[in-house]
Amino acid sequence: MHKDIATPIRTKSILEKYGFSFKKSLGQNFLIDTNILNRIVDHAELTEDSGAIEIGPGIGALTEQLARRSKKVVAFEIDQRLLPILEETLSPYPNSKVIHQDVLKADVGQVIETEFAGIDDVMVVANLPYYVTTPIIMNLLEKKLPIRGFVVMLQKEVADRISAKPGTKDYGSLSIAVQYYTEAETVMIVPKTVFVPQPNVESAVIRLTVRKEPPVALKDEGFFFQITRASFAQRRKTILNNLTSQLPDGKAKKEQILEALQKAEIEPTRRGETLTIEEFAKLSDELYKDFK
């Protein structure tokens, strides 16, 4: 058994050996606690027949644990300076592969097809770079990839927003977008002390299980998301005010908006944060004919 990468001493010696310095702009915070890493991997429920996709492997601390517990792990790393480090740290794991690419620009569907041929169970497991967490999650969800789900570390604040329920202050268009595609739950809160350098924010691990079917049937998915975003444009405003000010020609079509709210059985004085996904679905379907 090889020595774990994720210990303070081993991490320090690897970074010193390569003269590596952290880039703030890339949101680099490396995990130095094997217990935490193991718990993250536990939540992904991998088997020796699973494939794992990682984003931002750093020096390979999580990659190593994933490689030990899955059939294959593929990691996307944007920082060229980490490639020689990963080549060394992951050398004991021939079932690991690093792709030097920005995951937001990569054809992840193609990578899954090529790298995970014959593997039916694929999970995204990552300590995500915090500055770009939401775009990564949304980008991968919108692609409707053949994956079972995600277990990812992110800012606690973003995790709270993703898993929020209607009627809470954290609930918003991000909650709805992610929960439309997945079932979301926060599974762990992670202290700052297990990272080097320590981040300025609290961290949490969230598990997203991709739904086989969306929770609601819609006339138009893109339009539904447009309506949910518009409804939260200014949180203090009522749903009527937000839709009137945010939708194209909303002011001129106030009557149609009122009528749609009535048909969807939604009081115009309610705020966006009180509406369930089902209510937003009804509303967007009612508004569709007037605004599409």
* Residue 127 labelled as part of a binding site: yes
DSSP string of 18-70, one letter each residue: HT----GGGT--EE--HHHHHHHHHHHT--TTEEEEEE--TTTHHHHHHHHHS
What values do phi and psi take at 66, rounded to 5?
A: -70, -40
CB 206 within 8 A of CB 159: yes
Q: Which residues pair with 151 in a beta bridge?
A: 125, 207
Q: Taking phi first (over 0 means left), then psi (-120 to 50 degrees means alpha), and beta for anything else, what does residue 211 get?
A: beta
How far is CA 56 from its chain centroid? 13
Residue 200 is assigned to a ligand binding site = no
Q: Is 31 annotated as a binding residue?
A: yes
**83 with 77: CB under 8 angstroms?**
yes
CA-to-CA distance for 36 and 190, rounded, in angstroms?
8
Binding residues for S-adenosyl-L-methionine: 29, 31, 56, 77, 102, 127
Binding residue positions? 29, 31, 56, 77, 102, 127
